Amino acid sequence: MRLIYLIFFCFFSLTGYTQNNPIITKVSASWCSNCGLWGWDFMEALKEEFSSGPALPLGVHDSGDLQNETAVWWSQNLNAIGQPRFYINNEAISVGSGNWTSLVEPTVSSAEALALSDEVQLAFSSIAVDEENIDVSIDIESMPVMSNTIFLGVYVYENNVINFQSQQGPDAIHPNILRTAMTDNIVGIPVTSLGLSNFNVELDPTWKLEELGVLAVLWEEQTSGYTMLGSKFISQISGLSSNENILNSADFTFSDHESALLITTEEEETYQLQLTDMQGRLITSAVFNKEIHLSKNILSTGMYILSLKADNKVLTQQIFVR
């Protein structure tokens, strides 16, 4: 039986869905000692800080066991020389063994500020996953008028990759490893207008399906490379709704209020609700009819996975709570 996951993102009226997701790149190599020492500690600290968004700490191995063509291109586009090197979007972070602890908070603040930019608004319209392929539809909802060519690139990354890392040993757990581009041209496809674009890539059988995420980046071509204008990611794509027995997302209204997240429906059903964080930890569960208020006393700002069930039907969405 062919297992297919199909996710439709109708982002309702929730303020914050248009938030950008800045990328914090760690250029690394499995043989690199500093990558497994202070570089490892800095990356782990950022991973913890951004466990609920808005930024994506991305492992880009341009050498060693986890090297791939896309990672090499990404590193070269950043003009990275040596490892480890860290960047927030295209800007280098001047971090080293002596100052990494003091740079965690400023890096978080910079990423949160970048996330509020509304010049570029990207949305995942749909994602379909089976054992062989990933199909993605990206909707460009807004972008600035530029004199240079703009490209839309879509990439697959894998979280919790177990692999050797110098100073960490043979079973180090690497977060968010950049795996491949979903286009022949790694930078993506040229775009001249708003709207939907579709992407497809064949899955590598060595990847863990349950750990895969997808990253979309809007690039501006420059003389010496490509600059990130905006980006959006979604993690754990296989953990979202199956295309069999899906609840209709149009039957629900989601509203993000100052003190609570409100979910309402006109359907005569009893729904089971579960809200988990991006690490799969249960935040709350409930049963409701017609409407439910989720108090923000239990919610910090960030990304969550919301699951609604009725009988044998399910709807699972990633949501951003202000």
* Distance (Å, whole) CA 12 – CA 217: 22
Arch. (CATH architecture) of 249-321: Sandwich (2.60)
Asked if 142 and 120 count as a contact pair (C-beta separation under 8 A), the reply is yes
pLDDT of residue 98: 97
- Binned at pLDDT 50, 70 and 90, residue 13 comes out as very low
Asked if 142 and 194 count as a contact pair (C-beta separation under 8 A), the reply is yes
- Please state the rounded mean pLDDT for residues 239-258: 71
Q: What is the mean pLDDT of the chain?
A: 88
Q: What is the pLDDT of residues 172-208, one digit of tens each?
A: 999 999 999 999 999 999 999 998 899 999 999 999 9
Asked if 180 and 155 count as a contact pair (C-beta separation under 8 A), the reply is yes
* Distance (Å, whole) CA 211 – CA 208: 5
With CA atoms as reference, report the closest residue to 216 among 206, 204, 238, 201. 201
Lowest model confidence (mean pLDDT) among 34-43, 102-111, 278-287: 278-287
43 has a pLDDT exceeding 90: yes
Please state the domain extents for the chain: 1-244, 249-321
- Please state the rounded mean pLDDT for residues 17-30: 87
Full-model pTM:
0.77
Over its C-alpha atoms, the chain yields an Rg (Å, rounded) of 20
pLDDT of residue 20: 86
32 has a pLDDT exceeding 90: yes
- Binned at pLDDT 50, 70 and 90, residue 116 comes out as confident
Decide which of 3.20.20.70, 3.40.30.10, 3.30.750.200, 1.10.1200.10 is the CATH code for 1-244: 3.40.30.10
Q: What is the pLDDT of residues 121-178, one digit of tens each?
A: 888 877 888 778 998 888 898 999 999 999 999 999 999 999 999 999 999 999 999 9
- Please state the rounded mean pLDDT for residues 100-111: 97
Asked if 135 and 123 count as a contact pair (C-beta separation under 8 A), the reply is no
- Please state the rounded mean pLDDT for residues 74-78: 98
